[in-house]
A and B are shown apart, each in its own frame.
Chain A
């Protein structure tokens, strides 16, 4: 759950954007704050892990996380929501720092506990948007956080039952390369987990459940790839995984149309890359015998730091490009309207209505340009319907293009993750 929380709010971002009347950068802090506090707290916990009982740390983390979830659910303003997301992040850091030890105790072996932890870390973040999307559409964005509180309570009961005495260990500097790659790969995943979802819901008008269904290609492909990873050497799996994630993001950046099929194929490539690289790199970053808790906590910090780095880089780029995209969208829509094969007496009132629709569109939403056409019987008038589709299509196309540079930036992060993997190959470590 704490892994999924990195991305669970994504499909609720459009709701939050209009509910709190904020900017893209402002609303992105709902995700950034959680991941930033999680990363900072996880790394801050590393030096003190020897002096605390990690099982108690996890239990305390569950309590803090549950409290943050309830606070987030009842937040009445964006600053309050961000504060409670920070509380959630701090709780998640404590929880995840001790979770490896708890899982080892629950499953009776460190190797088994590590395998479950790796699977949770790989699929948790990927499943987040789908889970959040379903809850948002069935209920409300607040349901995402309401849902988490009882889950945290149940986990707390299980954590109280488990008794663990793992060796905290001290880790080793040779774990730097896989952690660096993991950080960059999780940064790259911002493109697949956040940008693609925002594009589907905010620009293409997909419902949260529709968006969740499309995005589920990612965890599904990751699951299949995870099972196939045994056919590859560890370094080949990590290298191929990073390359596939970068390629999937390039494919998303190069969309030639508003095509859900292409998005699913691109996300499947991203998921395959994730399923190949993340488990292998996590195994390399966490020593199952001596540094389980220490290494696990460092890894948590590294991957969430990567997410934060990407969010901080991508949000202003996307915000800037969407402004330009909005202008291109209006120009494209106007061109489609001016070229329309409908009588000018019919066209002028539509133009005036469109002007009203654009003026009154809620902040952060794409104006419903189809409405003035539908109102005038587009359903039964082929030429009007064609004009409507051209205008709406021009708008969606230009806004979709606005995601291009941000997605390319994420692809670059995935490509950079190849560096430590290839260097480790050359030096024989990592």
Chain B
């Protein structure tokens, strides 16, 4: 026979279960561990430091977004496709395709900077030349 104390403890345990699961759901258990990747075609390059370095950084991120958009993927998938050991076998591009996409992304990013009045034509040209070696460096081990 269950005693009164037994019933009270069972009620407390039931309350503990409900509370724990409610807390978990409130803390975001539903989406926990799922990377929410932005659409590169609509993404902004995000914040960056000011000055020339900040501009280079902003341009490089916009380049990745542009290239990913052109390849109909996300910028994260694009970056990981350069890493054979990452095991993301779903994506296989030729070296030429990636080169073309990245350069198209760079051009698009530079045009956006000029179009938005953030930099002038001359600075965009300089920035483009500053970012190109970074892309080369990034792609080098993937060759």
Q: Which among A282-290, A310-318, A339-347 touches the partner chain?
A: A339-347
Stretch at the interface among A39-47, A83-91, A165-173, A352-360: A352-360
- A352 close to B141 (CB less than 8 A): yes
Say yes or no for A233: interface residue by CB 8 A criterion.
yes
Q: For the complex, is A265 an interface residue (Cβ under 8 Å from B)?
A: yes
Stretch in B56-64, B99-107, B114-122 with 4+ CB within 8 Å of A? B56-64
Nearest CB of chain B from residue A217's CB, rounded to whole Å: 13
**CB proximity of A253 to chain B, nearest CB, Å:** 9
- CB proximity of A138 to chain B, nearest CB, Å: 33
- Taking a contact as CB atoms under 8 Å apart, the answer to whether A334 and B80 are in contact is yes
Q: Does B77 contact A (CB under 8 A)?
A: yes
Complex Cα distance A400/B77, Å? Answer: 21
B34: contacting residue among A231, A334, A348, A401, CB under 8 A: A401
Instruction: Please give, as numbers and ranges, the residues of chain B lying within 8 Å of A272 by CB-CB distance.
Output: 13
B39 in the interface (beta carbon within 8 A): no
B35 touches A251 (CB 8 A): no
Q: List 25 A-B contacts (CB under 8 A).
A: A228-B6, A231-B2, A231-B5, A231-B6, A232-B3, A236-B2, A244-B13, A250-B21, A251-B17, A251-B20, A254-B25, A262-B20, A269-B16, A328-B33, A330-B80, A335-B37, A338-B75, A341-B47, A344-B57, A344-B134, A345-B134, A359-B84, A397-B32, A397-B33, A402-B33
Mark each residue of chain A from 197 to 241: 1 if its CB lies under 8 Å from any CB of chain B, else 0. Answer: 000000000000000000000000000000010011100100010
Contact in complex: A355, B83 (CB < 8 Å): yes
Q: Are A231 and B56 in contact (CB under 8 A)?
A: no
Contact of B61 with A358 in the complex, beta carbons under 8 Å: no
Contact partners of B10 in chain A: CB under 8 A: 232, 236, 240
Would A348 and B6 be within 8 Å (CB), given that A247-B21, A398-B35 are in contact?
Answer: no
The reply to whether A398 and B53 contact each other, CB–CB distance below 8 Å, is no
A75 within 8 A of B: no
Q: Considering only CB atoms and an 8 Å cut-off, how many residues of chain A contact the other chain?
A: 48
B9 touches A228 (CB 8 A): yes
Pairwise interchain contact A344-B13, C-beta atoms closer than 8 A: no
Contact with A along B20-48 (1 / 0, CB 8 A): 11011101110011110100000000110
Which of A231, A269, A399 counts the most chain B CB atoms within 10 A? Answer: A231
Alpha-carbon distance between A256 and B82 when the two chains are bound, in angstroms: 31
What does DSSP make chain A's interface, helix, strand, loop or mixed? Answer: helix
CB-based contact B83/A358 at 8 Å: yes
Is there an interface contact between A348 and B138, defined as CB atoms closer than 8 Å? yes
B79 near A351: Cβ-Cβ < 8 Å: yes
Beta-carbon contacts of B77-100 to A below 8 Å, as 1s and 0s? 101101111111000000000000
A328-B34 contact, Cβ under 8 Å, with A344-B56, A355-B83: yes
Whole-angstrom CA separation of A266 from B23 in the bound complex = 12
CA distance A233 to B64 in the complex (A): 65
Sorted nearest first, the 4 A-B pairs with minimum C-beta distance are: A401-B33, A231-B6, A359-B85, A256-B27
Given contacts A248-B17, A269-B20, A338-B76, 20 further A-B contacts (CB under 8 A): A228-B6, A232-B2, A232-B6, A254-B25, A254-B29, A255-B32, A256-B24, A256-B25, A256-B29, A325-B33, A331-B37, A331-B74, A344-B56, A351-B79, A355-B85, A355-B141, A358-B85, A397-B32, A398-B34, A401-B33
Name B's interface SS: helix
**Bound form: Cα–Cα A250–B21 in Å:** 8
Interface: A319 (CB within 8 A) = no
CB distance from B131 to the nearest CB of A (A): 9
In the bound complex, CA of A358 to CA of B85 (Å): 6
| Contact status A328-B83, CB under 8 Å | no
Cα distance A355–B137 in the bound complex, in angstroms: 13
A255 contacts B13, C-beta separation under 8 Å: no
Chain A contacts for B21, CB-based, 8 A: 247, 250-251, 254
**Is A394 an interface residue, CB under 8 A from the partner?**
yes
Q: How far is the CB of B65 from chain A (nearest CB, A)?
A: 9
- The closest CB in chain B to the CB of A326 belongs to B87
CB distance from B91 to the nearest CB of A (A): 11
Q: Is the C-beta of A423 less than 8 angstroms from some C-beta in chain B?
A: no
Binary interface encoding of chain A residues 116-140 relative to chain B, with 1 for a CB under 8 A from any of its CBs, else 0: 0000000000000000000000000
The answer to whether the Cβ of A157 comes within 8 Å of any Cβ in the partner chain is no
From A262, which residue of chain B is reached at the shortest CB distance?
B24
Say which residue of A256, A266, A343, A345 sits within 8 Å of B28 (CB atoms): A256
